[in-house]
Amino acid sequence: MSALTIPRKRPEEVGIHPSSIKRYMDSLERQEIALHSLLVMRHGYLVYEGYGYPYTRETNHRMYSISKSFTSLAIGILASEGRISLDDHIVDYFRDKCPETIPKYLAHTTIRHMLMMSACHRDTTYRMVNDDDYTRTFFTVEPDHEPGTVFLYDTSASQTLGALVERLTGMEILDFLRTRFLDEIGFSKGAWAIKDPSGVSLGGSGFMCTPMDVLRVMVAITDPSFKYHDYVVEATSAQISNALSMVDTLSALRHGYGYYFWRGERNSFYMYGMGGQLAIHLPNEDMIVITTGWANEISGHMEPFIDGIMEMAASAVDHAIEDSGESLSTELDSTPYLRSEPIPERRIKGTFCFDENVTGIEEIEVLDTTIRVRAGGQNGVFDYQLNSTTFTHYPFLPELGCSLSSFYDRGVLCLYIQTTGEENGSILLNLSKKDDMLTVLSKVVIARKQPVLSGVVTGKRVRK
């Protein structure tokens, strides 16, 4: 494959009315869903590219389970080159991590089973036990059932296949993929993968790259001239039923599963990562749509992302349409929940102490533009401006950036914090005062351990 270029046209030139793209963005904004990026391509032309501050074209975004699709491609390349077979038993490559007596279900598990999310475990094994070697847990946790029989989402399977790639090639997964095709297509040099505590790339959730990188990969693998196209056809076809599964109730996910690729409506397939990371190929409409975002605190958060894309595709036509004269903003709503509410005359102020509680919060001091929190023996300072969004670092995990939106709603001080970088997450804080008592409601949706935990607690004011 020659170097990949991404030419551009106006949406109307490829049969997409700009209003359909705007409706999609407006719909997510109405539902208070953070949209960090949106890329729309049709007939080989990029017709829309937008980002929400502080994200830009050059910002590496955590892609979560889109990483699994990259790992699938690496496995497929090894199989295409004859270095492995998909029907090899995984234990044959990791005897050093297996118990002395190998359980039969584990012994029966093949690489193909793992790619299909049809291995022998009911869940992600490294979340079940305390072991810094995530790969080893796949072999030491007792298996539950015969592999190849049911669809059960297991990120430790993809972690193990990523470890297999790194063991056989002596390279990190992304570096191996660079040697085979990523460098050819202009994949960014600054992309990288978060590692598990033992130093193995998180092949199921840890890839950090730009939305344009993901678009380039989708363009490459959907080209019939792609040198590993035969594997891609197999990997993106339905290999196992997921019509009724324990994974997700979202109807868009129930059209079958390939090798770390999902099948969808309108004959689509897609790479899917939690929170709003999507790369959807719609061959009937010759469209590719990429999104990044964060809405994991919302029940059914992925449904608006996917349904809106399907509606956009349904409105596309097979011919150029008249220039609408409509211009699309390239600035997306990356900070939901922001409102412009009247600021009450009596704002919450003072220092409040809390007895030992499930949230870990010990003390909160509320000032006009600052909230100081002591939790879990640590101190954190949140600077905020009412009815606006500020960008700073999350004080309890200072390596993470964050946005903080704040406003009053019927006397309640509401803060929405969204972390960025290696860990996308969100913290919703409500501070409600009655007399000298402050009740704090904290909802935390973030994977890493940190001192402010979810829950509700009431404390007493000790200083005004």
Cβ–Cβ < 8 Å for 6, 44: no
Of 217, 218, 265, nearest in space to 238 by CA = 265
Question: Is 344 among the domain residues?
Answer: no
Residue 1 has pLDDT above 70, yes or no: no
pLDDT at 245: 65
Q: What is the pLDDT of residues 313-330, one digit of tens each?
A: 999 999 999 998 889 999
Q: What is the mean pLDDT of residues 26-53?
A: 96
Domain check: are 171 and 31 in the same one? yes
Q: How far apart are CA 3 and CA 185, in angstroms?
A: 5
Q: What is the pLDDT of residues 120-172, one digit of tens each?
A: 999 999 999 999 999 999 999 999 999 999 999 999 999 999 999 999 999 99
Domain check: are 291 and 390 in the same one? no
Domain check: are 408 and 264 in the same one? no
Q: What is the pLDDT of residues 379-414, one digit of tens each?
A: 999 999 999 999 999 988 888 899 999 999 999 999
Residue 4 has pLDDT above 50, yes or no: yes
Residue 58 has pLDDT above 70, yes or no: yes
pLDDT at 185: 97
Q: Report the DSSP beta bridge partners of residue 331.
A: 51
Domain check: are 299 and 434 in the same one? no
Q: How far apart are CA 205 and CA 157, in angstroms?
A: 12
Cα R_g (the chain), whole angstroms:
24
Domain check: are 363 and 276 in the same one? no
Q: How far apart are CA 47 and CA 25, in angstroms?
A: 15
Q: What is the mean pLDDT of residues 405-429?
A: 93
Q: What is the mean pLDDT of residues 18-39?
A: 95
Q: What is the pLDDT of residues 188-232, one digit of tens each?
A: 999 999 999 999 999 999 999 999 999 999 999 999 999 999 999
Residue positions counted in the chain: 464
pLDDT at 435: 94
Instruction: Match 């029966």 to its residue by tokens.
Output: 108
- High-pLDDT (> 70) share of the chain, %: 98
Question: Is 5 among the domain residues?
Answer: no
Q: At 368, which CATH number?
A: 2.40.128.20
pLDDT at 246: 57
Domain check: are 269 and 411 in the same one? no
pLDDT band per the 50, 70, 90 thresholds, residue 30:
very high
pLDDT band per the 50, 70, 90 thresholds, residue 464:
confident
Question: Is 389 among the domain residues?
Answer: yes
Residue ranges making up the domain that contains 179: 11-315
Q: What is the pLDDT of residues 232-272, one digit of tens each?
A: 999 999 999 988 765 555 677 788 999 999 999 999 999 99
Q: What is the mean pLDDT of residues 402-428?
A: 93
Q: At 75, which CATH number?
A: 3.40.710.10
Domain check: are 278 and 374 in the same one? no
Domain check: are 355 and 311 in the same one? no
Least confident of 41-50, 179-188, 372-381: 372-381
pLDDT at 376: 87
Domain check: are 15 and 160 in the same one? yes
Total structural domains in the chain?
2
Question: Is 4 among the domain residues?
Answer: no
Q: What is the mean pLDDT of the chain?
A: 94
Q: Which of 295, 315, 335 is the last residue of a domain?
A: 315
pLDDT at 216: 98
Type of residue numbered 460: K
Q: How far apart are CA 48 and CA 366, in angstroms?
A: 43
Domain check: are 184 and 262 in the same one? yes
Q: Which of 300, 315, 330 is the last residue of a domain?
A: 315
Domain check: are 292 and 355 in the same one? no
Instruction: Match 């449904």 to its residue by tokens.
Output: 303
Domain check: are 297 and 413 in the same one? no
Q: How far apart are CA 309 and CA 344, in angstroms?
A: 40
Q: How far apart are CA 98 and CA 234, in angstroms?
A: 30
Residue 137: what are its φ and ψ, rounded to 5°? -60, -30
> Which of the pair, 311 or 452, is modelled with greater confidence?
311
Per-residue 3-state assignment (H helix, E strand, C coil) for the chain: CCCCCCCECCHHHHCCCHHHHHHHHHHHHHCCCEEEEEEEEECCEEEEEEECCCCCCCCCEECCCHHHHHHHHHHHHHHHCCCCCCCCEHHHHCHHHCCCCCCHHHHHCEHHHHHCCCCCCCCCHHHCCCCCCHHHHHHHCCCCCCCCCCCCCCHHHHHHHHHHHHHHHCCCHHHHHHHHHHCCCCCCCCCEECECCCCCECCCCCEEECHHHHHHHHHHHCCCCCCCHHHHHHHCCCCECCCCCCCCCCHHHCCCECCCCEECCCCCEEEEECCCEEEEEECCCCEEEEEEEECCCCCCCHHHHHHHHHHHHHHCCCCCCCCCCCCCCCECCCCCCCCCCCCCCCCCCEEEECCCCCCCEEEEEECCCEEEEEECCEEEEEECCCCEEEEEECCCCCCCEEEEEEEEECCEEEEEEEEECCCCEEEEEEEEEECCEEEEEEEEECCCCCCCCCEEEEEEEEEC
Q: Which of 291, 315, 339 is the last residue of a domain?
A: 315
